[in-house]
Amino acid sequence: MSDLENLFQMGEKSGLSGETLLSFIREREEAERKERAYEREERNREREFKKLEMEREIEMER
């Protein structure tokens, strides 16, 4: 079952229909997009930090 179908079923189980259900689905999809973007940014920050740590260690060995 796709994410969209899951959201649709969640909304229906909550008693939503029509425009309210569509709004619910759009809001959930937007929240998930923001969460994925945040996680991607966090991974990038961690990679950059590790890179800087490695560069610092190399400099200290010289």
State pLDDT tens for residues 38-62. Answer: 999 999 999 999 999 999 999 998 7
Q: What is the percentage of the chain residues whose pLDDT exceeds 90? A: 52
User: Domain of 36?
Assistant: 3-61
Which has more confidence, 57 or 8? Answer: 57
Integer Cα distance of 22 and 42 in angstroms: 30
Q: What percent of the chain has pLDDT over 70?
A: 98
Number of domains present in the structure of the chain: 1
Q: 11 or 34: whose pLDDT is higher? A: 34
For the cut 70, the answer to whether the pLDDT of residue 6 exceeds it is: yes
Residue 1's pLDDT is 65
Q: How many residues are given for the chain?
A: 62
Residue 20 structure tokens:
């309210």
